[in-house]
Amino acid sequence: MDAWLIAERVRFGHLRPFSEKRLATQLLLQLTRYRLHLIKLLTIEQNRACNLIFLKFSNYMKDSPFSNSFGKASLAVLGNLFPDDLVNMDLEQLVSFITQNGNNRLHEPENMAKELKTIARNAYRLNPKMKDSVHVTLAMTIQNIEYFKNQIKRLDKLIARELKAIPQTLDTIPGIAPVFAAGIVAEIGDISRFDNEAALAQYAGLTSSRYQSGNFEAEERRLTKAGNRYLRYYLVEAANSLRVHNEEYKAYYYSKYNEVNKHQHKRALVLTARKFVRLVFALLSKGQIYQKQEVKM
């Protein structure tokens, strides 16, 4: 079947020649795809850490005073201290420990130390036979998390540098970081390959399947997911950033969020990504910079 399809495309002139623009994005393509691989590994290690944290410090993830449980100061506490250590540690010593590992950037470390002592007193105590194994396993998992974070930071700098060599205007959109712009540009390659924004959305797998029988048509539709999963990932992640940093897309996201009662965030995010595809196609095909749209309230 594959050989027959290729022969038919060549026979009728539907096989487009390889584009030089596509060649220019190949290096960026390797970097952005490897970044996604690292993100998946980081997520696996963080999920493993959550299970181990529950064993070591049962109520930490729920009551932690840190805004990011996988931040540097939080990981230092989890990797070095047990609940009994926190309870018995002098308050000033604990404040100094938190401040030092937070690079002096944490707000009100003394209140954080008091909260840590409170949740440590209320935590379930681990069976002594499991204490050492859980401590070692969690410490190694935290090392993996920190390693992957550092690798991603290094990769982000390299991606941003390589992106500067490629003509594109996606990074003029408020909320679109260089990494997101690079991932989208690398996966699309030559925008002239697509006749319109609908073709680009289909290539990304951001089209919905329709279920219909007679006069009945299902309201809930699922993504076909038959396209480029890397492009779909970067479009959805970009949409998630736009809903926070861009007023136009923020308004659109919440309008779609309030339309239904089930799967609100997921549905609104995908529809926001689908709207973003239209902008991506327009900017890349015309070479224009982003023009802010007035949001109608």
In a shared domain, residues 185 and 83: no
Q: How confident is the model at residue 8 (pLDDT cuts 50, 70, 90)?
A: confident
d(CA 239, CA 274): 9
Instruction: Let me know if residue 142 belongs to a domain.
Output: yes
What mean pLDDT comes out for the span 251-277? 91
In the predicted structure, residue 222 carries a pLDDT above the cut 60: yes
Domain ranges, residue 202: 168-209+222-297
Q: How confident is the model at residue 16 (pLDDT cuts 50, 70, 90)?
A: low
204: its two tokens: 């990304």
Exposed, middle or buried by CB within 10 Å (0-12, 13-18, 19+), for 59? Answer: middle
What mean pLDDT comes out for the span 120-133? 87
Q: What is the pLDDT of residues 58-75, one digit of tens each?
A: 888 888 888 888 888 889
Q: How confident is the model at residue 296 (pLDDT cuts 50, 70, 90)?
A: low
3-class DSSP state for residue 171?
Answer: helix
In a shared domain, residues 231 and 112: no
Place of tokens 């420990």: 97
In a shared domain, residues 67 and 109: yes
Instruction: Let me know if residue 7 belongs to a domain.
Output: no
Residue 40, Cβ neighbours under 10 Å: how many? 11
In the predicted structure, residue 100 carries a pLDDT above the cut 50: yes
The per-residue pLDDT for 24 is 75
In a shared domain, residues 76 and 92: yes
What are the phi and psi torsion angles at 266 (to 5°)?
A: -60, -45
Q: What is the pLDDT of residues 174-208, one digit of tens each?
A: 889 999 999 999 999 888 888 899 999 999 988 87
In a shared domain, residues 57 and 122: yes
Domain count, the chain: 2
In a shared domain, residues 136 and 251: no
Instruction: Let me know if residue 17 belongs to a domain.
Output: no
Instruction: Let me know if residue 22 belongs to a domain.
Output: no
The per-residue pLDDT for 219 is 52
Which one has a higher pLDDT value, 97 or 9?
Answer: 97
Residue 101: closest CA among 66, 53, 134, 132: 66
Instruction: Let me know if residue 236 belongs to a domain.
Output: yes
Start-to-end Cα distance in the chain: 53
Looking at the chain, the whole-number percentage of residues with pLDDT higher than 70 is 89
Q: How confident is the model at residue 15 (pLDDT cuts 50, 70, 90)?
A: low
What mean pLDDT comes out for the span 211-216? 52
Provide the residue type at 10 as one letter. Answer: V
> Computed over its alpha carbons, how large is the radius of gyration of the chain?
24
In a shared domain, residues 131 and 235: no
Of the ranges 50-54, 125-129, 259-263, the best mean pLDDT one: 50-54
3-class DSSP state for residue 173?
Answer: coil
In the predicted structure, residue 295 carries a pLDDT above the cut 60: no
Task: Say whether pTM exceeds 0.75.
Answer: yes
Q: What is the pLDDT of residues 40-58, one digit of tens each?
A: 999 999 999 999 999 888 8
In a shared domain, residues 198 and 174: yes
In the predicted structure, residue 225 carries a pLDDT above the cut 70: no
In a shared domain, residues 191 and 293: yes
In a shared domain, residues 199 and 282: yes
In a shared domain, residues 125 and 190: no
Instruction: Let me know if residue 16 belongs to a domain.
Output: no
Average pLDDT, the chain: 86
Q: How confident is the model at residue 297 (pLDDT cuts 50, 70, 90)?
A: very low
Instruction: Let me know if residue 290 belongs to a domain.
Output: yes
89: its two tokens: 């540690």
Instruction: Let me know if residue 27 belongs to a domain.
Output: no
In a shared domain, residues 150 and 269: no
